[in-house]
Structure 1
Amino acid sequence: MLYSLAAFRRKKGDTADAEHIEGNTKLEIGWTIAPLFIVMVFAYMGAYSLAETRRVDPQAMIVNVNASQWAWSFEYPDYGFVSTELRLPKDKQVLLRMQSKDVIHSFWVPEFRVKQDIVPGRVTELRITPTLDGAYKVRCAEICGTSHAYMESPVLVLSQTDFMAWATEQQGIAAAAQTPEGKGALLVKSSGCLGCHSIDGSKLVGPTWLGLFGSQVPLSDGTTVTADEAYLAESILNPSAKIVAGFETQAMPAFATLTEEEIANILAYLKTLK
């Protein structure tokens, strides 16, 4: 542009008409065909990638993904267990059937190049085929509350042999978890409780469960309460009834849909955390 301004500027004393250029047909065809070809190549690559992403493999492994504030849980119906980690076999298609228990979440593993919203009341499906083994993280990509930034879980892509070894181990653990406390341990994992409450004394969004049962719990109103079965059941069904001191700003969702048996199983599990 600067060259054209200098080379074709009006010169002093020049009163003639400017040169009339009708155009260059070959050049115009060239700069039309070349970009069109480039766009078509990218369109083909995009269409192929989309078709590959949506390709249905009847032998795909199913994983039920449960999202809640602010944790993930993964159920493997073919193997009969639930995990807080998403472990996948390499080079095998996986069908993720995803549900939200509360608000909109979004399943996102950046390295997988896919992201899918999870809407309450709907089952959202996503198909992926991991091709590189390694450790990744699934993150929530939709703002879902005060602890949204911490809503992540490990994702491990393993060889088929390593995956089957892990699945077999988890099946054994699940089979042994048929006692009330065992069922309670599985329930708190699948409900996302461990995203806010630790079982080793470490500080998370909510109070730790280590040594909780039978202890004296200070409340936000200055009183204390014994962490017996009645208090813990009330805290599960109506978390705002008695708020623990120091956690006034953390809003715990109510689990009013839990049955009496499920609550009893959770309480049995809490009693083991000494």
Structure 2
Amino acid sequence: MRHFIIVGILVIVAASLTYMGLDALNLMPVAASAQAGPIDWMWNWQVIAMSFLFALIVVPLLYSLAAFRRKKGDTADAEHIVGNTKLEIAWTIAPLFIVMVFAYMGAYSLAETRRVDPQAMIVNVTASQWAWSFEYPDYGFVSTDLRLPENKQILLRMQSKDVIHSFWVPEFRVKQDIVPGRVTELRITPTLDGAYKVRCAEICGTSHAYMESPALVLSQGDFMAWATEQQGIAAAAQTPEGKGALLVKSSGCLGCHSIDGSKLVGPTWLGLFGSQVPLSDGTTVTADEAYLAESILNPSAKIVAGFETQAMPAFATLTEEEIANILAYLKTLK
């Protein structure tokens, strides 16, 4: 009995120290949504269980190596134990009970993260290689930034233009795959003002690592001020070049092409129209309307030198008017 008491005390001490050590590491980023609460609660109980099981295995093992090692000169056989029915029943029932408890806790946490607010604000999310766009149907504009009001549930309705992507903001905790041909939904209630990042958590191609967009949680007042400003910009953008600017934003083009000369996944658009473009086959071509339209509809027809490994998706569904609007916008980037 003395050994059981000692081992029991050591298990409790080791489990407590293990848990405190793991907790001190701050393994989780800051919690910035209401959904983070039940997830972090579940994670904390899992860490407690892992710490206890670690101690329950390691402590008796190390204690047995020290307390029951063969003494010098001892040649006798140890006691032969055939089995212990009560112990075998206990270690069958106890883990089953623990698993059932954690299953209930997991179901409860999942239900809490999916709790529906009928007054939720809708944001339509479009994922494409390798950019995000966010449409605010209640306000009538599209943005490449995800800006959300604090303490207001957001219903994200998400779809993909090409391959499987996955919406993930670590501080919100929840993550959702976006499958082509489907509209998937995710609910988030931001609770902490700050600047975060939307990341793609599903490998989606050569530039997967760069598929990021800013995610900002604003106060209600700051969000309304921003939304009003964006509404004004959208209302003023009724010219062909204005419509083209909105179209390239909503199509995710700016995730690969810069408009300020900086290098991204694809060639910059600054000063592109009318310039001489070197191609991968050693020739050059003038970036006129015909070339640019062809590059939109059939990007692999003429590949720009230095970008041979970047596969741009074809935008064959664009209408002639939409392509004309994009070309009008490109002409303004001088």
Going from structure 1 to structure 2, the CA distance change for 1:37 and 1:187 (only over 3 Å counts) comes to: same
Of 238, 242, 252, which residue of structure 2 is paired with 1:182? 242
User: 2 CA distance for matches of 1:255 and 1:87?
Assistant: 27
Task: Please report how far the alpha carbon of residue 49 of structure 1 lies from its aligned counterpart in structure 2 after TM superposition.
Answer: 2.5
Task: Please report how far the alpha carbon of residue 133 of structure 1 lies from its aligned counterpart in structure 2 after TM superposition.
Answer: 1.4
Task: Please report how far the alpha carbon of residue 46 of structure 1 lies from its aligned counterpart in structure 2 after TM superposition.
Answer: 3.2
Higher percent of residues as strand: 1
Task: Please report how far the alpha carbon of residue 19 of structure 1 lies from its aligned counterpart in structure 2 after TM superposition.
Answer: 8.9
User: 1 CA distance for matches of 2:260 and 2:67?
Assistant: 78
User: 1 CA distance for matches of 2:101 and 2:230?
Assistant: 46
Q: What per-residue deviation string (whole Å, max 9, x for no partner) do you get for residues 140-191 of structure 1?
A: 1111111000001000011111111110110001101111111100110111
Task: Please report how far the alpha carbon of residue 16 of structure 1 lies from its aligned counterpart in structure 2 after TM superposition.
Answer: 12
Structure 1 runs of 4+ aligned residues shifted over 6 Å read 5-41
Q: Secondary structure at the match of 2:249?
A: helix
Moved more, 229-238 or 7-16: 7-16
Instruction: Tell me the matched-pair count.
Output: 274
Q: Secondary structure at the match of 2:175?
A: strand
Moved more, 5-14 or 126-135: 5-14
Moved more, 228-237 or 218-227: 218-227
Going from structure 1 to structure 2, the CA distance change for 1:251 and 1:4 (only over 3 Å counts) comes to: closer
Task: Return the TM-score normalized by structure 2.
Answer: 0.73
Going from structure 1 to structure 2, the CA distance change for 1:19 and 1:171 (only over 3 Å counts) comes to: same
- The answer as to 2:138 corresponding to 1:64 is no
Q: Secondary structure at the match of 2:168?
A: strand
Task: Please report how far the alpha carbon of residue 196 of structure 1 lies from its aligned counterpart in structure 2 after TM superposition.
Answer: 0.8
Moved more, 243-252 or 19-28: 19-28
Going from structure 1 to structure 2, the CA distance change for 1:269 and 1:19 (only over 3 Å counts) comes to: closer
Task: Please report how far the alpha carbon of residue 52 of structure 1 lies from its aligned counterpart in structure 2 after TM superposition.
Answer: 1.8
User: 2 CA distance for matches of 1:7 and 1:85?
Assistant: 63
Task: Please report how far the alpha carbon of residue 44 of structure 1 lies from its aligned counterpart in structure 2 after TM superposition.
Answer: 5.2
Q: Secondary structure at the match of 1:273?
A: coil
Return 5+ residue gaps in structure 1 as ranges. Answer: none
- Give the alignment's Cα RMSD to 1 decimal: 3.2
Q: Secondary structure at the match of 1:268?
A: helix
Q: What per-residue deviation string (whole Å, max 9, x for no partner) do you get for residues 228-269 of structure 1?
A: 111110110011111111112211111001000000000000
Going from structure 1 to structure 2, the CA distance change for 1:121 and 1:12 (only over 3 Å counts) comes to: closer
User: 2 CA distance for matches of 1:88 and 1:188?
Assistant: 22
Going from structure 1 to structure 2, the CA distance change for 1:60 and 1:215 (only over 3 Å counts) comes to: same
Moved more, 43-52 or 73-82: 43-52
Q: Secondary structure at the match of 1:51?
A: helix
Mapping for residues 30-69 of structure 1, pairs under 5 Å: 42-43=102-103, 45-69=105-129
Task: Please report how far the alpha carbon of residue 77 of structure 1 lies from its aligned counterpart in structure 2 after TM superposition.
Answer: 0.3
- The answer as to 2:76 corresponding to 1:16 is yes
Moved more, 220-229 or 190-199: 220-229
Going from structure 1 to structure 2, the CA distance change for 1:263 and 1:45 (only over 3 Å counts) comes to: same
Going from structure 1 to structure 2, the CA distance change for 1:5 and 1:128 (only over 3 Å counts) comes to: closer
User: 1 CA distance for matches of 2:239 and 2:65?
Assistant: 86
Task: Please report how far the alpha carbon of residue 64 of structure 1 lies from its aligned counterpart in structure 2 after TM superposition.
Answer: 0.4
Going from structure 1 to structure 2, the CA distance change for 1:30 and 1:196 (only over 3 Å counts) comes to: same
User: 2 CA distance for matches of 1:162 and 1:185?
Assistant: 24
User: 2 CA distance for matches of 1:7 and 1:114?
Assistant: 47
Q: What per-residue deviation string (whole Å, max 9, x for no partner) do you get for residues 176-229 of structure 1?
A: 111111110011011111111100001111111001111111112222111111
Return 5+ residue gaps in structure 2 as ranges. Answer: 1-60
Q: Secondary structure at the match of 2:326?
A: helix
User: 1 CA distance for matches of 2:267 and 2:173?
Assistant: 36
Q: Secondary structure at the match of 2:317?
A: coil
Q: Secondary structure at the match of 1:189?
A: helix
Task: Please report how far the alpha carbon of residue 9 of structure 1 lies from its aligned counterpart in structure 2 after TM superposition.
Answer: 8.3
Q: Secondary structure at the match of 2:192?
A: coil
Going from structure 1 to structure 2, the CA distance change for 1:123 and 1:27 (only over 3 Å counts) comes to: same
Q: What per-residue deviation string (whole Å, max 9, x for no partner) do you get for residues 117-160 of structure 1?
A: 10100101111111111111011111111100000100001111
Higher percent of residues as helix: 2
Task: Return the TM-score normalized by structure 1.
Answer: 0.88
Task: Please report how far the alpha carbon of residue 47 of structure 1 lies from its aligned counterpart in structure 2 after TM superposition.
Answer: 3.3
Q: Secondary structure at the match of 1:88?
A: strand
Going from structure 1 to structure 2, the CA distance change for 1:161 and 1:33 (only over 3 Å counts) comes to: farther
Q: Secondary structure at the match of 1:267?
A: helix
User: 1 CA distance for matches of 2:308 and 2:79?
Assistant: 80
Work out the percentage of aligned pairs sharing the same amino acid.
Answer: 96
